[in-house]
Amino acid sequence: MTMEQTIENKPLNSEYIFIVRCGEVALKGMNKPYFERMLLERIKKLLRKFDGVRAYRHEGLIYVRADKSQDKQAIIKEIGKVFGVASISPAMECESNMESIGRTAVEYMLEAIEERGIKTFKVEAKRADKNFPVKSPDIARQIGAAVLKGCKVLRVDVHDPDVRLFVDVRHDLSYIYQDKIPGYGGLPLGTNGKGMTLLSGGIDSPVATWMMAKRGMLIEAVHFHSYPYTSQRAQEKVEELASLVATYCGRFRMHVINLLPIQEQIVQNCPEEETTILVRRFMMKIAERLARKTDCDMLITGENLGQVASQTAEALVVTDASVTMPVMRPLIGMDKVDIMELAQEIGTYEKSIEPYEDCCTVFLPKHPATKPKLDRILHSESKLDCEALIQAACESEEIIEIRPA
């Protein structure tokens, strides 16, 4: 019996049990226990909404137990959102002896026949307990024979079975399961620093934020608007997008900045074709200042090479020259179609395409510079009181607490 069961003295299979496997966490060597602890804490935090659910580590895996009154699929869905989870398997457990394993395998397959109408199967076995007296190939053969005897409608198909029945033999208990439901992988939140993401209402920046959170990075966000040219509903859209992202990366703060005074100064004092790149540089400078104030290690943007005028190679070089903090662009080499597909997968796409104004479209020049020169941009900026404009923007910030949708 496991420690958890010994304490609670519950009969086997009186609860749902889920085996949760780590992704890259398993490759972390001496740091593996730290990453596993972080992953476990994140799983526990996300499952607080369910009563009677517990998660714990044991023999290199994470187990989740839940009262059978809970929604099984909802629990699987929540676990699957946790970065660092490679796969989840709803399982049945039994004592680690061949008679108990065979009996449980038959029970499991009878349920599968009733639920899915399966006709063929294959058993795959492994021994985490190398002292177990039966070797893996023999476990598979003997359990396969027990299933054939107990489930008369089934036959073995080793090439293309309806069900692959996995038998995982461990020191105290063994586990029977068929599905390995994929998670997102990545690294547990909080294991890889903190980033300030420039979050707009478009498709790209929510995906970029999600991708950096997947690498274990905590998130802080800044959103720029140009009220009254952009509406309150446009900002609400961004808040809703941020909440969708927060379902994966947890609660975070979003700093809201009115960019309009800066845009007006640029339009009045600088060449029209440079408007876009100059605005972008101010956004980066403000984001960097907020990042340093909130202990962020880097900036995150949704820029994609060549997608728009401000995202050509030359424009990105000029943009980066406005800050000293590293800038992460996880979408830089992706095709737009791939970004859209990922947005659909994580649930942000439909909200992103709602037709509301964006500050980047305010005062948009007819012919923006696609190959800006840094010396010319710096000359244009010299006509502005950059420090005063940045300071005023930062002082006007509104901070919104973003919670998961």
Q: What is the pLDDT of residue 50?
A: 93
Q: What is the pLDDT of residue 1?
A: 42
Closest listed residue to residue 368, CA positions, set 277, 279, 280: 277
Mean pLDDT score of the chain: 92
pLDDT of residue 9 exceeding 60? no
In degrees, rounded to 5, the angle at the alpha carbon of residue 233 between the alpha carbons of residues 204 and 293 is: 60
Percent of the chain with pLDDT over 90: 82
Mean pLDDT score, 176-202: 94
Partnered with residue 197 across adjacent β-strands are: 221, 300
Q: What is the pLDDT of residue 292?
A: 97
Percent of the chain with pLDDT over 70: 96
pLDDT of residue 257 exceeding 50? yes
Helix (H, G, I), strand (E, B) or coil at 181: strand
pLDDT of residue 36 exceeding 70? yes
Mean pLDDT score, 3-11: 52
Q: What is the pLDDT of residue 382?
A: 96
Mean pLDDT score, 382-405: 95
Q: How far apart are CA 300 and CA 205, in angstroms?
A: 8
Q: What is the pLDDT of residue 179?
A: 87
Q: What is the pTM of this model?
A: 0.89
pLDDT of residue 338 exceeding 80? yes
In degrees, rounded to 5, the angle at the alpha carbon of residue 173 between the alpha carbons of residues 169 and 175 is: 55
Q: How far apart are CA 105 and CA 92, in angstroms?
A: 8
Q: DSSP characters for 247-286?
A: HHH--EEEEEEE-HHHHHHHHHHS-GGGHHHHHHHHHHHH
Q: What is the pLDDT of residue 8?
A: 53
At 223-239, the pLDDT tens digits run 999 988 888 999 999 99
Mean pLDDT score, 368-378: 94
Mean pLDDT score, 188-202: 95
Q: How far apart are CA 328 and CA 132, in angstroms?
A: 49
Q: Check if the beta carbon of residue 109 is closer than 8 Å to that of residue 156.
A: no
Cα-Cα-Cα-Cα dihedral of 333, 336, 341, 343, to 10°? 90
pLDDT of residue 276 exceeding 60? yes
